A and B are shown apart, each in its own frame.
Chain A
Amino acid sequence: MSDAKFFQRGKIQELRLELNSDKKDRNYTRKKQTLKKIVANMTMGNDMSSLHPDVIACMSIPVLEVKKMVYLFLINYAKAKPEMAYEAIQTFRRDVEDPNPLIRALAIRTMGYIHVDKVTSCLIQPLRHCMRDQDPYVRKTAAVCVAKLFMQDRHLVENAGFIDLLREMLVDSNPSVVANAVAALTEISERSDHIQLQLNMSIASKLVTALNECSEWGQTYILESLMFVVPQEPGDAEMLAERIAPRLQHANSAVVLTAVKVIVYLMNYMSREEDIHSMCKKLSPPLVTLLSSGPEVQYVGLRNILLVIQKHPEILKNDIKIFFCKYNDPIYVKMAKLEIMFRLASEHNVEQVLSELKEYATEVDVDFVRKAVRSIGRLAVKIESTAQRCVEALLELIQTKVNYVVQESIVVIKDIFRKYPNQYESIIGVLCENLDNLDEPEAKAAMIWIIGQYADRIENSDELLDDFLYTFLEETVEVQLALLTATVKLFIKRPTAGQDLVPKVLKWATEEVDNPDLRDRGYIYWRLLSTDVAAAKAVVLSEKPHISTETDNMDPVLLEELLLHIASLSAIYHKAPTTFIPHCKPRFLIPSPALRRQNYNAGRTLQHQDSYSSLHNSAQYQQSQSNNMRSQRFDGDDSGNGGLDEFVSSPKQPQHQRLSYHEQSFEQVAEASIGNQEYYEQKINAENPYRTDTAAVGGSQANKGGGVDLMSFDL
């Protein structure tokens, strides 16, 4: 029977009469039909709340279907009209004692949804009973109910001993109950300021046993909880990972990805390279399989893969073909694939990758084409043996005269010139043919850099620059800076050609422009040129630092943090969760004797870990101290007090932005080397929240005993 007919907006009075009709109603069929109408109206947004006395009267009918509808009604309106819930309390009390476990569970569940103090206080006693109910369905419902209650009233849950009851449930004989208890505990731990879930190996082992028998969702809860196990003994992590590995074959991609997360986490606690290697081997096929699912799952998979392969490059290194784009992939999938293709590109497969990229550069989607062109340039910088072919590919693309393709190509060619000086300058002529069409600041700045850098080789470099200078005052700062430097270069390389331009530009930069960077750089050049031309030459034409695609790598500190957040929104955005989720607990690798030492390049060490490891390693300690001091040099007021609070809640932390590849290379291009070093440090310092946190983390360990109640579970 179709429900649609219930949507004729039945008048409330009619419904009331129907509900209270004295007519013979065997098996409550009529009541059921009327309630259906009411619920249908309610879901359409028609206000049925005035019917509540009549609806609540139906609660006493001992038919589950009727009860369900009354409960739906209550959940819907209790928030707005708490007094309605009072009338239902008596029936709730009876229902939680009902011999039918379904009704007991339903009553508990419904009461948990009604955020009314009076109902909540009536819930405590029965809930406690239900957590020890003989029926597992009731127990599992009760476990979730505790999490619900916690959201309403944290103190109540903590003081009424519910946490301990949940803890007992972890060893329940029924796997679904265990899974729900774990889910509730994890949820509470994530939200609470002073409850922190921590599981020991023996409980972890029991959980893994339950894993094999519970539902797909139960499996994700249990797997997620294993992130709170800190393996202590050598072999613990290996054993656990081995037992979890079959989950990689699950049909539910959430189970698969959570299993990947736990295994990647556990690898931090494995000592032997060959164990890690064999785990990595197991991770590849399921990750590939994720990509045969729907586009949303692919997208989540791709964003997470990008993290995993940065830490463990051997994963998927032979599966690059999987990431080749199909023309009808959604654009966001294509973009994510492209990123991974670039990462996986190596001497062995670069041929294929390049031919794919060339293919993509002729597609129609502008963003995708741009990224493809950019990737060709990055590929040239990354893999020397292919540079020649990449340059040829870019030249071909420039010939297409498609405006954005040309501009994008010029941007990356500038990087190729920097990486391989004196090799590809022959193509400058081709580039110069396209000057007129440049309208994007990044492309303009790149072209201007090229003209300045090769001012002595480009015959008419002074004319070209003069053309650009025509609109100097209207340009963006990025272009203005490039113009300033390029003009000075021209002057130093070809004084006669540049002598007319330089004074003009210096005057603009120092007098007509508001941007302090530009003004400063103008003054520096001016003074250098007026005092000591040799010095100016040494500064302006100095050897530039090498560029490499290293700058594409994610900040290792952030990477480590994100790896602990695989299968979460942070892993999609590649942003630390604390930067966009309020009240989110940061995660970090907790030290144990089994924790592997991480190798990072100096100055970019994982601070959390440092401050812990420092107890064992004095050299490391000193290094972390020196970082500490450096951070204080720029933040005078960072004295480390109040550190714990800041560290725990830290929503105010500056958003962690990685210098993008091009920003970075551009800044390196900024030849005004004086003051650059300091500028850099400041910039890095400002962008890396951990620098200022160093002291805070150190403090947090000392304070931990005081503020944090670790939920360790021993049996």
Chain B
Amino acid sequence: MIESLFVLSPTGKVIIEKHWHELIPRRVVDFFNDQVSKAMAEGEDVTREDVLPIIASPKYQLINVYRDGLTYLSPVTKEVDPMMVFEFLHRIPDIMQEYFGQVSETVIKENFVTVYQLLEEMMDDGFPLTTEPNSLKEIVPAPNILNKVITTMGATTSVSTRKMPHGMSNLPWRKAGVKYNSNEIFFDIVEEIDAIVDSTGKAVSCEAHGTIQTNSRLSGMPDLTLSFVNPRLVDDCSFHQSVRFNKWESDKVLSFVPPDGHFRLMSYRVNLPSQQNLPIQVKPSINVGANGAKFDITVSLRNTDGKPVENVVLTLPLHKSTTTLTAQCNVGHSEAAANAGYNIGVEFLINSHSLSGLKVDVLKLFNESYKPYKGVRTMTKAGRYQVRA
């Protein structure tokens, strides 16, 4: 049960305050801000991200999420499922993103009334209620150009004339009566590689986290079946609620009636067996002397099916005590800024490549007669990928 919500600006000021139960005094925010600054003062390298997401205070447990400079703080007095609170708190910026295109102090202030209306619909008495963007847009109109036109024309935007929100239909995620002139559906398979590689180039741990982001613009009630060439590769997966789990268990296909618009169809995880799978190899050699150190980092490509590797970025954080440094690259450019341990963060991007090897086989459409345009894009990029030196 979530009792209250405060949204705090980067400076710790209250932007949004909402209480579903008793009024929790703002003093709690001051206490929280104190705790945050105290935690951050503990060490040079402690950042806001290192502050505990659950802080105990004498009366409240302060559950908080920090995202894009804003803090979503929910003080609770009773036992609660923190996982639920975190999931819910993250939904707030997600939904705002969906509504306003971006999330910031200014954006919230510009859309105050809409935000409050959304919060009212998202939660009742501390129970999360409607958090599907599809359903919410039915109840709280998004501030888009069309709405503006309607408002200025004086036409009715009242929801009362519409049918029941589909929140209660058998498919809570899909609204009825969707119509498009051209029916299309796009799948973006994005794989992020999480890896720890030791200084000899051996992968200490390595796995791929994939998501299938879908943009569905299909009329009516399409019933889709998406199958893969090699579904058994997947070690673990989780699905959008539209996916029929039994079908996956028995046939390893994704069978679903999609929501309208953008949604994440599936997330999956593949353990990658050995370093041969890594598309990029980073070999650091570090010589530390009395008056400084020399870092030689060699990057070489391997195993990308001939696809180019783009946007390669190496980050080598140095201790704050570093006074001067020079950096040079054979290819591309380098930026030098002293910012601990020698760890190298690696970023890269490979288009049309799936490191795990997962491939879409075919998409079938039932229940509707049109032939949709289908698009699939694959991309592999570095997630939390680091090399130890």
Contacts and interface: CB of A to CB of B under 8 A. Distances in A.
A263 B241 CA distance: 21
Interface string A1-38: 11110110000000000000000001101000000100
A619 interface: no
Interface residues of B, number: 90
A209 B337 CA distance: 58
B148 interface: yes
A27 B341 contact: no
A321 B205 contact: yes
Given A567-B81, A569-B54, A364 B319 contact: yes
Nearest to B246: A246
The interface residues of chain A, by DSSP majority, are classed as: helix
Contacts of B1: 187
A375 interface: no
Contacts of A256: 238
Nearest to A583: B78
Interface in B342-361: 343, 345
B251 interface: no
A231 interface: no
B388 interface: yes
Contacts of B246: 246
B53 interface: yes
Contacts of B56: 573, 580
Interface stretch (B116-124, B177-185, B216-224, B276-284): B116-124
A292 B269 contact: yes
A297 B86 contact: yes
Interface stretch (A214-222, A636-644, A652-660): A214-222
Contacts of A213: 170
Contacts of A39: 112-113, 116
Given A249-B245, A568-B79, A324 B205 contact: yes
Interface string B103-120: 000000111111011001
Interface string B143-157: 100001001001111
Contact of B65 (A220, A296, A565, A582): A296
Given A254-B83, A256-B238, A148 B113 contact: no
Interface secondary structure of B, over-half rule: mixed
A584 interface: yes
A272 B28 CA distance: 50
A398 interface: no
Contact of A36 (B113, B158, B345): B113
Contact of A26 (B125, B154, B168): B154
B120 A72 contact: yes
Nearest to B320: A364
Contacts of A44: 112
B127 interface: yes
Contacts of A427: none
Interface in A287-309: 288-289, 292, 294-297, 299-301
Interface stretch (B30-38, B44-52, B293-301, B362-370): B44-52
A366 B46 CA distance: 11
A239 interface: no
Contact of A569 (B61, B236, B238): B61
Contact of A257 (B83, B113, B156, B317): B83
B236 A285 contact: yes
Contacts of A164: none
Interface stretch (A101-109, A504-512, A552-560, A673-681): A101-109
A330 B269 CA distance: 22
B209 interface: yes
A258 B79 CA distance: 14
B235 to A, nearest CB: 6
A509 to B, nearest CB: 37
30 contacts: A1-B151, A3-B114, A27-B155, A43-B16, A103-B160, A112-B125, A135-B164, A214-B172, A215-B131, A215-B132, A215-B172, A215-B241, A217-B128, A249-B237, A249-B239, A254-B84, A254-B86, A258-B81, A289-B238, A295-B49, A297-B86, A300-B83, A301-B83, A321-B204, A327-B341, A328-B384, A569-B54, A569-B79, A572-B82, A584-B79
